[in-house]
Amino acid sequence: MTQPRSETTPLLTLNDPPPYSLLNPSSDTPLLLICDHASNFVPARLQHLGLSAAQMEEHIAWDRGAADVVQLMSDRLGCRAMLANYSRLLIDVNRDPNQDEPDLIPEMSDGQLIPDNQHLSPEQRRERKLRISQPYHQEIERQLDALTAYTPAPMLFSIHTFTPAMQACGKPRPWHAGMLWNRDPRIAKPLMAFLRRHEHLLIGDNEPYSGREFAYSINRHGHERGFPNCAIEIRQDLLQSHEDCLWWAEALADGLSEVLEQPSLHRVQFFD
């Protein structure tokens, strides 16, 4: 029987980046953008978790294009934004660390084995939570708390990207972008309507999963606090260049600007 691996070397060193990057930290715009899967970075000593450099560029490691869109949106809207600085394969910050579900630190992702995530000790799992997931979510809470100085209910918007086809199922995902939301429609519905003004776009509720299932970050920081919240998934092949990312950033920024003008948006409201 294979025993869990035990190591005493710290997960992060002084040469590694912090768990997150924060943009426009003094903005009073009542909106926080977050990007859970902004990076495919893994500490150098972990050697890509046993994967090749090419595998670390795939969708299993990050949401390609999402960070560029978030940074461009933050510039255009003048709002705060947070980007997670580590790969979802090291630990997925969009999963509940208290549940310890399989996708939190995946041993497999879309049919691919993640060698150095096999047989981790409880201490190793705990360190990834404490050093990466916990500070990321604590900072989201601090930023939202700071924004309550300007509005009772700051808006939380999360940006993700998705691969056109998962290897595990092979079924193509033809829509251009999908909304993930739990029960709060204050962002999702008007933003979908705005994006559908672009007749070439196929926009809808995300499939094959919804915000009620796989949207831990917006549920924890938005839904549970009564703050308006939503996530979007954009198809990765539509974000191949800087110009592509700029188009989506401008479209989403324009849509969110309209949403921010809704009088009903800026109050705490819970949806069952």
Instruction: Report yes or no on 235 lying in a domain.
Output: yes
Instruction: Report yes or no on 257 lying in a domain.
Output: yes
Whether residue 213 is predicted with pLDDT greater than 80 in this model: the reply is: no
Distance CA(187)–CA(258), nearest Å, equals 10
Residue type, 27: S
Domain that holds residue 180: 20-263
Cβ burial 177-187 (10 Å sphere, 16+ → b, else e): bbbbbbebebb
**Cα dihedral 160→26→268→258 (10° resolution):** -60
**How many structural domains compose the chain?**
1
Instruction: Report yes or no on 81 lying in a domain.
Output: yes
Mean pLDDT score, 30-51: 97
- Predicted TM-score of the model (pTM): 0.93
Mean pLDDT score, 155-167: 87
CATH number of the domain within which 64 lies:
3.40.630.40
- Per-residue pLDDT of 57-85, as tens digits, reads 999 999 999 999 999 999 999 999 999 99
Mean pLDDT, the chain, as a whole number?
A: 91
CB 255 within 8 A of CB 151: no
Instruction: Report yes or no on 269 lying in a domain.
Output: no
Instruction: Report yes or no on 13 lying in a domain.
Output: no
- Per-residue pLDDT of 223-243, as tens digits, reads 999 999 999 999 999 999 999
